Amino acid sequence: MAKHVKILFLGDVVGRLGRKAVGEFLKEYVQREEFPVFSVVNVENASHGYGLTEKNYNELSNCGFNCMTSGNHIWDKKDIFDYIKRADKLIRPINYPKKTKGTGSKIFEFEGGKIAVINALGRIFMHPCDSPWDVVVKEIKKLKKITPNILIDFHAEATAEKVCFAKFCSEFGVSAIIGTHTHVQTADEQIINGMAYITDAGFCGVSDSVIGMDYESSLKRLATGLPERYEIPSSKVVQINAVEVLIDMQTGKSLEIKRFSLQKDYREAKK
């Protein structure tokens, strides 16, 4: 087992260009990194902004990601119910009812050792789900018997809920909590009781957009209050939001946290 490992967490991926960008970013990152890398990407919007198809799951898996987390949109593509049991890199929120397909946590073994990942949903301004507080603590205690290294993707809307949940979980020896869902990267990365934390990792998708979706369809829906199908913008400029965490694999404590925000231009070169 390595002494130190870098966790690379890519924010919510939106659409085809988002998938392309994170795959290329991961490859470049691993090539230049001196530490073993454990890579995680949130995929609940990966297939045209809604859920994850098996085809796109395989695409991201082939890019080399160790783990894929999700959220409330993971069920939007119906083939998820057919393939989730054999999708060994994918986890769904742990606080869905017990009989829900898939798993809410998993221990991943890679070149650096063992890292456990838990996915959980917030409840404020979100669709109804079970309380994450007790179920996550029970899971942390169970996983701690196997590895001290535990990462949580907390998929939630309200900042206060995320911050409070993070402080609460830090008391149980969690290595890192990365917030997802709002698609806007926050500037509050910090270490709390040896636990890395950021309220939201941001998103990976078309930058000239409304959190990944087309402005016109977003405007119609928000201005009129009427149903309107969101669409992926046609722009070829993609933003990549990511978070890097350096952890001590013996203690499970985080030593550093850093965020990335950059753009990649897929437009054809001008003549």
Q: Is residue 118 part of a domain?
A: yes
**Per-residue pLDDT, 130:** 96
73 carries an active-site annotation: yes
Question: pLDDT at position 136, please?
Answer: 98
- What confidence score (pLDDT) does residue 271 get? 42
Task: Establish if 32 belongs to a structural domain.
Answer: yes
Q: Where are the alpha helices (DSSP H) in the chain?
A: 15-32, 54-62, 80-83, 132-144, 159-170, 215-224
For the chain, the residue count is 271
Catalytic residue among 4, 48, 73, 183: 73
Question: Is residue 268 very low, low, confident or very high in pLDDT (cuts 50, 70, 90)?
Answer: confident
CATH number at residue 251: 3.60.21.10
What does the alpha-carbon distance between residue 255 and residue 237 come to, in Å, rounded to a whole number?
Answer: 33
**How far is residue 261's CA from residue 142's CA, in Å, rounded to a whole number?**
35
DSSP state of 146: T
For residues 208-230, give the mean pLDDT: 94
pLDDT for residue 1: 86
29 located within any domain: yes
Contact 221, 228 (CB under 8 A): yes
Asked if the structure places residue 270 within a domain, the reply is no
Chain segment 169-211, per-residue pLDDT in tens: 999 999 999 999 999 999 999 999 999 999 999 999 999 999 9
How far apart, in whole angstroms, are the C-alpha atoms of residue 9 and residue 148?
Answer: 19
Question: Which pLDDT band, with edges at 50, 70 and 90, does 80 fall under?
Answer: very high
User: Within a domain: residue 179?
Assistant: yes
In the chain, the DSSP E strands lie at 4-10, 12-13, 37-42, 67-69, 105-110, 113-121, 150-155, 176-180, 190-192, 195-198, 203-206, 237-248, 254-265
271 inside domain: no
**Which domain, by its residues, includes 189?**
4-265
Q: Using only C-alpha atoms, what is the Rg of the chain? A: 18
Question: What confidence score (pLDDT) does residue 107 get?
Answer: 98
Kindly report the backbone phi and psi dihedral angles of residue 21, in degrees, each rounded to the nearest multiple of 5, phi listed first.
Answer: -65, -45
**Looking at the 3D structure of the chain, how many domains does it have?**
1
Residue 111 inside a domain? The answer is: yes
**For residue 270, pLDDT beyond 90:** no
Asked whether the whole model's pTM tops 0.85, one would answer yes
